[in-house]
Amino acid sequence: MMQAPTAEDDMTVVRVLVVDDDPLVRAGLAMMLDGAKGISVVAEAADGEEVPDAVNAHWPEVVLMDIRMPRMNGIEATRRLRARPNPPEVVVLTTFDSDDNVLNALRAGACGFLLKDSPPVDIVTAVLKAAAGEPILSPTITRRLMDRAATAAGAHERARQVLARLSPREHDVMLAIARGRSNAEIGADLFMSVATVKAHVTRILTKLEVGNRTQVALLAHDAGLA
């Protein structure tokens, strides 16, 4: 069995898996990302069913995932991938930012989304941010997505109950995460070191039983706090 690469193997390069059923789009993304400093495209996949084998074989830190694909779409593939131990971050790809499936992908565990016609620099930045655990979606985009969807019955109260698990200091950090603040910005706002912020973020994700900052922001919105 192939062993996961260690930090010593590839300390500064983010390993990326590109998943898209359109071979031209897939090849274009792979070529563009491979030419960016600090990124290496280690594998490609044509649909969601190919993702587990590709992840097992190549251990990417970030997966660029198309939403609309045959056999298994990007939402289900994201949900299954994020349920694994130590999963890679997932950034979903869509043709239109009005795609209602984007919100479902974020709830499934994607940390953000990109339009397929985004400028290359934006795609590179999103990949590097995803690998670093930094926010990709702005609070404005998160709210717009949430406001577009009807809130499920009881979602508000359930979100309030979940967020009640946090300590007062963790609650402050959670609100900053919901506002799209980076670790460095949260540290400056709340007079903490970046290391302390990271420790709080880790505890928040564990207590809320979510996989990334975007899902924290979605919970805060459901609770009426963002």
Give, in order, the Cα–Cα distances in Å from 149 to each of 99, 159, 222, 223. 11, 16, 11, 15
Contacts of 67 (CB under 8 A, 6+ apart): 73, 74, 75, 92, 93, 94, 99, 101, 102, 105
Residues, the chain, total?
A: 226
Q: Are 98 and 51 in contact (CB under 8 A)?
A: no
Query: Count of CB atoms within 10 A of residue 103's CB?
Result: 19
Q: Are 30 and 44 in contact (CB under 8 A)?
A: yes
| Per-residue confidence (pLDDT) for residue 10, from 0 to 100 | 46
User: What is the C-alpha to C-alpha distance for residues 206 and 189, in angstroms, rounded to an integer?
Assistant: 23
What six digits make up the tokens of 103? 């919100």
Q: Are strands 89-94 and 112-115 parallel, antiparallel or unpaired?
A: parallel
pLDDT tens across the length of the chain (226 residues): 344 444 444 457 999 999 999 999 999 999 999 889 999 999 999 999 999 999 999 999 999 999 999 889 999 999 999 999 899 999 998 886 656 778 888 889 999 888 888 899 999 999 999 999 888 877 667 767 766 655 555 778 888 999 999 999 999 999 999 988 999 999 999 999 999 999 999 999 999 999 899 899 889 988 888 7
Domains of the chain: 14-132 (3.40.50.2300), 154-222 (1.10.10.10)
